[in-house]
Structure formats: C-alpha cells, structure tokens
Structure 1
C-alpha cells in the first residue's frame, strides 16, 4: 500500500523549501512503514551536494573512518561537515522537516555521516536501528541541533566525572543517496534491503530493495520492525548519507519495552 504526502511543511522558511524539487513524497506501508522520495532536491543544489562530497572524499581522506568492525563501509561524520552544502543535514530546519514527516518529535540531537562502500562489498546483516545514543549536556534549544561530541561516548555514555549526558534512543533513520554511478541499473547491487520479518534467521531474503539512485531518499521510524541492511554486491562505489534523529529513552521504553532496545 502506498500513499502520497505533501512535504516539505509550509511552516519552514522559504530559503529552505526552495531547495526541494517537489512536495509529493510517497508513504509506503510495506514491508514496514517508510517514506520514499525521488528527486529530493532541485538539480542545482543536488549537484552542489554531490560535488562537495566528492571534494571531501578526495581531499580529506584522513577524516574517513571504519563504520563498524566487519562492515564494509567507511564514513565521514556530519560533525566534520559543518561548512558547505552538506551542513544542511545538521540544520534545525532539516531536523524538523524529517521529524514531522516521520511523526516523531525529535530532541534536536543528530548523528550520522556519509557512508562509502567500495565495489563488491559484502552484504550487511539485518538490524532495526532501535539503539541507544548518549549526548552531552542539556536538550538543544528549539532553533538549534546537537551532534555527538568528544566528551561522551555516544554508544555507551562513558564520560569523565562531572560531565552531564542524556540517554536517548534512535528515533528516525534517513538514507540519502548521492555521488553514485548515474546510470545505475537493476543488477548493479548496492541497494538498501528492507525486511518484513527476520524471526531469528540470519540471512532472510529482502522484501524490498531500495536502489541507490542519486538524489533519492528513504525515511523510517526506528521500531522493533524496521529491519534493513546494505544489500551488497555493488558493481560501483555506493555512497549514502546515513543519519538518525533521536527520542528520549523513556518514550521508547514506554512504547515497546526496554527489552526491544538493542544494545551495541
């Protein structure tokens, strides 16, 4: 089942809404609820995003790090992309747009980066992203956002005595595809695999494959059912901005129970 929704929200400033190519985003119900968008931004702005990422990839290789052990991607964090067009993804306007689309009141805390998978990368493992995240200090003001810092370990909350931190849970996942092979075809691999059920099976067949088409995006609320992974077997480099908005842990526990929150 699919439906068409109007976005971005008209309450957002004009300079921001003018970056978008259209306001008709598709809401899909299966294999779990998510929103899919083709041609997210006007071409001029998309080309700026792509060129900036390619420049960063070329000139700042030392800023890329392994995403996770036994996972084929490296990444540059949004914390290192605070100037230029890619800083849009850390803005309060972007945060509030995505939170409104997903129906999840975000805290203003953002985590993420651009992931790069080289050709012939192996498939990942299904996961739902309903994981904890720790951020330093007080709740961000309504017109600001906060990114992970050096004083608090985002996965464990480890910190020096006297450093305040808040334990949150990932609330919304966003994947925006950019700087990929422009003539991607079915069979070229590198999709995002979505699953209706996992049920303990380590390697189930995906129910839907989201292609890595440039200037496209998938958004979903992080729940116990939001199973997804990188599909692998990519013929070309695959680049994807991956980011999360967050909700208070107490809200996630009240909704699903603490046992459904996946510890790192």
Structure 2
C-alpha cells in the first residue's frame, strides 16, 4: 500500500458552504436573539426554543443540515461530502489505522490518549491537513465560522480519533478553554496549525527557546464521523449532549450517532457540555477540528467562565 497521498485536487470539492445555506426557516435576527449572552460570573440560562430546524440549502453532494438550539445551539449534517471525496477521506484514514495496528509501514501512527480516554489520537500537522484537505481548506473553515456567526481566525487545531470497541465513556466537558499557538514565524492572515515541537497547545509552555506562545480560546468544535461502516443503534460511540444543569448526571439530552459522512458542529461555550459515549458494539472513528477566537473576543462573550490555562 502507498503512504499518505497529498491531493490538491480536492481543493475544488472542499464542501464550502454556499452563501444561501444561511437561509434558515427563521431569520438570523431571531437566532441571534435566542443566543444567550453572559457577563462575567453569570451562569448560563439556556433558551427555551423548539428542537430543530432543517436548513433550506445543503452542501454540494446532497448533504442535509439541521440546526438545534437545545440544550445549546448546534448543527448536524449527513452526506457531507460527495461520494468520491468521502471515499478518499476514508482511504487516507484507513491507511493510518492499518499503520497503527502494525499491518503496514507508514509515517503516521495514532498514539494512546492521556488520562481516562481509551482512544487513539493523531494530532494534526500541515501534511495531514493537506491529505484530509476537504476538512481543512480555509474556505471550508470560514464557512463553518460563518454558519456559527463567529469571527474567523486562521488558527486551527485538529486530530484523528479512533476509539476501540469497549472504550470507556468520557468525561462531560465543554471545550471552552485556552489554546496556544507559536507566533514566532507567522502572520495573523496566515492559516496555521499548532507546531507540535514549538509550544504546548494546552498550557503555552515553550518547547524551544525562540518560541513565542500566544493564547487563544477554542471557539468551535466540529466532529466528522467516518470509517464506521455498519454502525447500528446499540453499538455506542455516540457523542452525548448535556444540559448545563446536568453536568454531573449521566442522562444525555441527545445522542449524536457516528454515522459515516456526517458531522456535529457547535460553538464552544461555558454550556456546550458533551462527551464520548462508550461503544460496546464497534470501534468509533472520527476527525475533530477546533476553530479559535482571540482572548479579547472570547472574554467579551463569555466573561470569566472560560477555562484558561497558562504554564509559561
């Protein structure tokens, strides 16, 4: 088998959201009015809105998108990419799974996650972002930010995840936390991913003398599900979604199934509680990406409720 193939041809099938996708069943003004605005130290009060809205327009390839305001605003989509584009994504992902399992030689191998996470993870690099380009083109990333009504910053983190069958249920968390990028050799107009050997993404601790870590805040999370052939209800591996007042409880408001070529997208906020749910039936595979905001913009929106970390 060949190693990762870098294809620029997928740039044209990046799945960019057309301007018309923002034509919702209700107006953008009413959506913004429903979005909770929190000040420093104020606990979030979730809006009491209907369950979901189907977007009138979809992605190229026939994808269908839905918006839901409870328990926090989020989007789900099915058939996100055209069949050939999705097939190439699964091919690249499968090569890494085979390398990880020792079935082939390759440059990329997933590593065990830390703590109580039973999954295998491979952090994003420039080369991986190119190999999985439909998910990491600037046009696609900007479209996700626009859909969430967020200011786009070209600072993106991502990872390939594989949770073996029987992985433990994860902890309930929000993703609303600090994230650090090395700004020693970049501009704010340049799309960059975390340089793994320069600074710690979570703490800002420099790994080389000339690193210039800069703090950002995670602004949005997207989970794209793939290589989960034959998934059925009962197999597990869903993403559980939880209310802010049920952080310590096990009952999910909703379970997002890991269906092939589908995704789950939400703004990172002090109330975007979610977690991986155990998968007794089969392995769960996904690609995750995070958009980021400046500390100033995040604090203006969420006040002191952000989980900030600084180990410099």
Runs of 5+ unmatched residues, structure 1: 9-16
Alpha-carbon distance in structure 1 between the residues aligned to 2:129 and 2:305 = 36
CA contact (8 A) 1:190 1:233 kept: yes
Counterpart position of 1:55? 95
**How far apart are residue 32 of structure 1 and its match?**
1.3
Taking structure 2 as the reference length, the TM-score comes to 0.74
Match of 1:156 among 203, 207, 215: 203
CA distance 1:234–1:104, change in 2 (3 Å):
farther
Point out where structure 2 has 5 or more consecutive residues left out of the alignment.
1-50, 100-105
* Count of residues in correspondence between the two structures: 249
Q: Offset of 1:112 from its aligned partner?
A: 1.2
Q: Deviations over 1:89-132 (max 9, x none)?
A: 22211211111111111211111111000001110011000010
Aligned counterpart for 1:98 among listed residues 126, 144, 149: 144
Q: Distance in 1 between matches of 2:141 and 2:224?
A: 14
8 Å CA contact 1:91–1:145 kept in 2: the answer is no
Change (3 A) 1:259 1:32: closer
Cα separation, 2, equivalents of 1:249 and 1:25: 30
Computing the radius of gyration over CA atoms, which structure comes out larger, 1 or 2? 2
Write 1 or 2 for the structure with the bigger share of strand. 1
3-state SS, counterpart of residue 81 of structure 1: helix
Aligned pairs (5 A) from 1:69-148: 69-79=115-125, 81-84=128-131, 86-137=132-183, 138-141=186-189, 144-148=190-194
TM-score (norm 1): 0.87
Q: What's 1:12 paired with?
A: none
Structure 2 distance, partners of 1:194, 1:262, is 23
- Listed one character per residue, the Cα deviations across residues 53-85 of structure 1 (whole Å, up to 9, x for unaligned) are 00122134863123322101111122151443x
Q: Is the 8 A contact 2:218 2:292 kept in 1?
A: yes
How far apart are 1:161 and its partner, in Å?
4.5
